[in-house]
Amino acid sequence: MMAKNPFACAECSIILPDPEKKNDIPQCNRCPSAQVTTDWQGYVIIMDPERSEIAKRLNVDRPGKYALKVNIR
Ligand SMILES: [Zn+2]
């Protein structure tokens, strides 16, 4: 059985934790109105955004798990 991709925020690319209820769709607590999607690629953990080139590229300013590319139609 394949594991389902977690949701990622289309706005800030953060990977969202699984919702408590199985079929709920999680929301980004930083951009609550943003779209979320399971259609993303590349997984990166940013520990220290101030020193990370990837963080700068992704416009990330807080540590966390991020998707490198979020596909939004
Ligand atoms: Zn977000």
**CATH number, domain at 65?**
2.20.28.90
**How high does pLDDT run on average in the chain?**
91
Q: Is 45 among the domain residues?
A: yes
| Domain count for the chain | 1
DSSP 3-59: PPPPPEETTT-BBPPPPSSTTPPP--SSSTTS-EES-EEEEEEES-GGG-HHHHHHT
2 pLDDT more than 60: no
Which residue has better confidence, 5 or 33?
A: 33
Distance 2 CA to ligand 1 centre (A): 26
**In whole angstroms, how far apart are CA 70 and each of 17, 33, 51?**
16, 16, 23
Distance 25 CA to ligand 1 centre (A): 14
Q: What is the pLDDT of residue 1?
A: 57
43 pLDDT more than 90: yes
Which residue has better confidence, 52 or 20?
A: 52
